Structures are given as structure tokens and as C-alpha cells.
Amino acid sequence: MAIKTPQQYIESLKDGRVVFCNGERVKDVTSHPILKICRDWMAMDYVLENDPRYRDLITEKNEEGERVSFALMPQRTREDLRRLREIVKLWARVCLGKPPGAKFVAKDGLNAVTVVSQRIDKEYGTNYAKNVEAYRKYLQKNDLSFAMGLTDVKGDRSLRPSQQKPHQDYYVRIVEERKDGIIVRGAKTHISQAPLCNELLIAPCRAMKEDDRAYALSFAVPANSKGITLISAEPEVKEPDLFDHPIAGSVFINDSTIIFEDVFVPNERIFLKGEWDFAGQVAYMFANFHRLSAETYKAMELELFTGAAALMAEYNGVEKAPHVREKLTWLVMFTEAVEIIGRSACEYCVKEPDSDLVYPNPMYANICKFYFADNWHQATKYIQDIAGGITVTCPSSKDYLNPETHALLDKYLGGKEGIPTEHRIRMAKLIRDLTSSYEDVLTIHAEGSLEAQKLSIFALADFNRYKAAAKRAARIQDGTRDKVYSELPEFPPKDL
């Protein structure tokens, strides 16, 4: 089958999984009023795969000649990355800035274990790479949605996994080894879309030491495996209303907590088991691959954001005020700079040594992430400043639609002549959604925190070149050499 229809995807979720949301056990995730928002968003992955206009972009024939999701294939060239970027842009534009997560995150985890499993096999003579490859084929063949379970619940952030107290399950670990597999316990959190995915791919979120051996663990299991409890994040909305909540009513990322209470994982689904010296590499490689995502979709989200600011300025009649133009200009610059830097990360991509996989330039990708996350709150301030108090004091759309009050609100909440009042209200509601604390936190924490970017950038920096430039300028010769600066002609020139 390979490419599923949206309906097939939805059917596949009726599998007895244990999901909680808002304090209640969810009987059927496909019909729950709020999880349905996530379901429909996820389904767009399948809608687009089946849309003849996008099929050639989004799907590709695999080695077996079967047409599968391109996202489930490894990226081996700059052209592959460019194509993946186009796919992510399409996903994002269709879904209001947020790519549907059926494969969006976990594909990068799959690439990460692809690279690392080969290394472990080489070092320790294990057989993980075969497992990964079989799992990839399985995903392709069944066009499965899968979530990436990376972040452990962590307990005390200043302690390593094995140092935690009062219990030792703050990071997912092996509690028992059996002949045919392992029993795992622990919890992952912030796991986007997990309740609406078929599979869960689990990997360590940090480097480990020998004591943490039991936590050096990567595997995959179906979301309905015995012992797994999925608890949804508190939803942003109580009902899927597209008027009052145009974003939150149609995109529910549903960052869940996944709890593993002694779950069995068969040997063929294990990709790392105890090789603690490789644990950090999985997290690191995941980050390398995953950097394409936010560095791509965020520019699409910002198109929407900047457009909302421009429209609200117009609807309010203030689009010519100098301070408004100044803020719109800043938003344009922000939007385009994210696009430029994110694209450059793909165009100057990096080939992972001992592997045929490529990923975005990590220096550029980290700069892109840091840049948009660091400036996001400034953008928020600007759009809120332009839009005015109406974004939070506007009555509910139910009041606007209520015949008793419709005429009054339609008359009085009007803006510039000629703009329907409804448009102004809709734009106010959109801006409230775009500037929620959810959006803030997603922007700064998803794909690694601001501090994580700083650490990466510092580690990746070519300080030797910079220092060589400064020494040459200060006329310091200390015996160090640099391939760019040491060969340059003397300046000022002698004897003219």
C-alpha cells in the first residue's frame, strides 16, 4: 500500500491506546472533540500525499520501486535537502505555519539512529543497523505516522540520570533484560502528536556516563503497546472554534507525556542498549537532522505573522503612521532573514562522516534557530502594539454571531471604512492566537533552547581563523598559522 489515505490513517488509530486528556480517559482519539483537531492536522500529511499536485514532491519511489513518503527516505544530497525544505514549506503553508507532525519530527530521529547504529555496530560488533533499516522499511511500507520521544522528564536538571532522587525513573531505562527483548520504564515529555501517531521512536536526550548505562537506550514501539500511557498537554482551547481561535482551533500539536510502565520492547526494535558512550551522539545527530524543520517552517509562520500585522494596521487605519511602518519593516526583515539563513543552512549542508547522509550546516542552522527564537518576543510586542487592545478585549465570536448583539458589534467594532467588521474581528482573534504563551514557549524551546544554540555555536566556531585575522591586524606573530590569513601579502606595503 505504501501511501495511506487520510481515512486509512484515521482508522489505524483505533487500536485501544491509553490516552488521557483534560482529566478523562479518551475512548477514541479519532472522535474526541479536542484530539480531533490534532487528528485533522495530522491527516493533512496524507491529504497532501494523495493530492496529484504535490505527489511528485512529497512521495518518491523507494529501492523496491514502491512510492513512499519522501520524508521516510534518507537525505543524501543537497538536492534532497532542498526538496525536503520545499516539502516542509508546503506543509507549513497549508497548515497555518505548523507542519503536520505525522513524520515531521521523527524522520530526523530515524536518520539519527541510522547514522549512530552503524557506528555502534562497527565499534562493538552489534547488529543495530539492520534493525533500523528494517524499521525504516516497515514505516515506509505502511506509511506510518510516528512521534519522536526524545526529552525525558528529567527530574532535577542538575543531575545525571543515575543520580536522580527519590526515584531512578526520571529518564527512560531498562529495568529488565529478557531473551527476546527488554522491559523499559520511565517517561518522555513534550512529545508532539504522540496520541495521534502509530509509532513511537524513543532515544536518549543527552550524553551519558558509564553509570547511566541503563539509560542509554533507543527503540521503537507501537503507541498502543501494553504499559504505555499517553497524557495530553492541557489543550489551549476547550472547543475547536476557528473564529475565536483560528490557529489553536485548527492546530493542536498536543505535546504529550508518554509514560512507560514496564513496557516490553522486542529485540528487533532496539537501536541502542547500554552503549552509553554513544547516547549523546543520537541526541546530537537528531538535532543535526532536525534543524531543517524549524529553520524552514518558522519563516512560513512569520509570513503569516507579518501579514497579520500589516492587515491589522490597515484595518485600524494606522498603516501610514511612522511607528507602524517602522515596526512592519522590522517584521519584514525578521521574516526574510529567517528564510535566508534557514535556506543557507540547506545550501551549505554537511555530509556526516562515515555515512552517506547530509544535514543542514549546523552553524547556520543554530544561528537561524537562535535568531528567530531570540527575536520572537520582540515580534510579538510589535504586532500587539500595532493591533491594539482589541486582540484581548474583543467579545467572543459567539456574541458577534448572536442575533441579539450582532448588529451592535458589527456597527461599533468596525475600523477603516470598507473593511468588513468581521474581517477586523477575525484578524484580532488571529493575532491573539499568534501571541499566546504557547507560541512563545514553542518558539524558544522547541528544537532546543536558546542556551543549547549558544553552546553549539560556540563549539562550532572557527576561532582560529578569527584570531589569525586579529593577530595580523595587531602585528602579533606568535608562531601560529592560518590557511587564510598567513599567506596574505604584507600590509602596509614596504618600500613604495
Among 29, 88, 94, 282, binds a second copy (CB under 8 A): 94
With respect to a second copy, which residue has the nearer C-beta, 152 or 275? 152
Three-point CA angle 117, 256, 199, nearest 5°: 45
Please, what is the minimum distance in Å from the beta carbon of residue 281 to a second copy?
23
Please, what is the minimum distance in Å from the beta carbon of residue 114 to a second copy?
27
Among 138, 344, 350, 352, binds a second copy (CB under 8 A): 344
With respect to a second copy, which residue has the nearer C-beta, 266 or 388? 388
Residue 261: left if φ>0, alpha if ψ -120 to 50, beta else—which one? beta
Main-chain phi, psi angles of 213, to 5 degrees? -45, -40
Please, what is the minimum distance in Å from the beta carbon of residue 379 to a second copy?
9
Among 16, 27, 63, 165, binds a second copy (CB under 8 A): 165
The mark string for 17-56 relative to a second copy (x by CB under 8 A, - otherwise) is: ---xxxxxx-----------x-xxx-xx--xx--x-----
The mark string for 238-277 relative to a second copy (x by CB under 8 A, - otherwise) is: x---xxx-xx--x----xxx-x-x----------------
Please, what is the minimum distance in Å from the beta carbon of residue 306 to a second copy?
5
Assess contact for 187 and 261: CB atoms under 8 A.
Answer: no
Please, what is the minimum distance in Å from the beta carbon of residue 350 to a second copy?
14
The yes or no reply on residue 473 touching a second copy (CB under 8 A) is yes
The yes or no reply on residue 16 touching a second copy (CB under 8 A) is no
Q: Which three cell numbers stand for residue 449?
A: 533552547
Assess contact for 396 and 274: CB atoms under 8 A.
Answer: no
With respect to a second copy, which residue has the nearer C-beta, 43 or 81? 43
Print the SS3 string covering the chain.
CCCCCHHHHHHHCCCCCCEEECCEECCCCCCCCCHHHHHHHHHHHHHHHCCCCCHHHHEEECCCCCEEEHHHCCCCCHHHHHHHHHHHHHHHHHCCCCCCCCCCCHHHHHHHHHHHHHHHHHHHCCCHHHHHHHHHHHHHHHCCCEEEECCECCCCCCCCHHHCCCCCCCCCEEEEECCCEEEEEEEEEEECCHHHCCEEEECCCCCCCHHHHHHCEEEEEECCCCCEEEECCCCCCCCCCCCCCCCCCCCCCCCEEEEEEEEEEEHHHEEEECCHHHHHHHHHHHHHHHHHHHHHHHHHHHHHHHHHHHHHHHHHCCCCCHHHHHHHHHHHHHHHHHHHHHHHHHHCCEECCCCCCEECCHHHHHHHHHHHHHHHHHHHHHHHHHHCCHHHHCCCHHHHHCHHHHHHHHHHCCCCCCCCHHHHHHHHHHHHHHCCHHHHHHHHHCCCCHHHHHHHHHHHCCHHHHHHHHHHHHCCCCCCCCCCCCCCCCCCCCCC
Residues 98-127 that bind a second copy (CB under 8 A): none
Please, what is the minimum distance in Å from the beta carbon of residue 76 to a second copy?
23
Cα–Cα distance, 409 to 116 (Å, whole number): 60
Residues 60-89 that bind a second copy (CB under 8 A): none
Among 6, 99, 181, 204, binds a second copy (CB under 8 A): 6
Please, what is the minimum distance in Å from the beta carbon of residue 229 to a second copy?
6
The yes or no reply on residue 14 touching a second copy (CB under 8 A) is no
Please, what is the minimum distance in Å from the beta carbon of residue 117 to a second copy?
28
Among 12, 229, 267, 355, binds a second copy (CB under 8 A): 229
Among 176, 326, 354, 356, binds a second copy (CB under 8 A): 326
Among 328, 346, 357, 358, binds a second copy (CB under 8 A): 328
The yes or no reply on residue 176 touching a second copy (CB under 8 A) is no
The yes or no reply on residue 179 touching a second copy (CB under 8 A) is no
Among 28, 64, 156, 356, binds a second copy (CB under 8 A): 156
With respect to a second copy, which residue has the nearer C-beta, 130 or 325? 325
Among 215, 306, 362, 372, binds a second copy (CB under 8 A): 306
Q: Kindly state the number of chain residues that form the binding site for a second copy, as judged by CB under 8 A.
A: 172
The yes or no reply on residue 325 touching a second copy (CB under 8 A) is yes
Among 57, 336, 350, 355, binds a second copy (CB under 8 A): 336
Q: Which stretch binds a second copy (CB under 8 A): 14-22, 64-72, 213-221, 269-277?
A: 14-22
The mark string for 420-439 relative to a second copy (x by CB under 8 A, - otherwise) is: x-xx--xx-xx-x--xxxx-
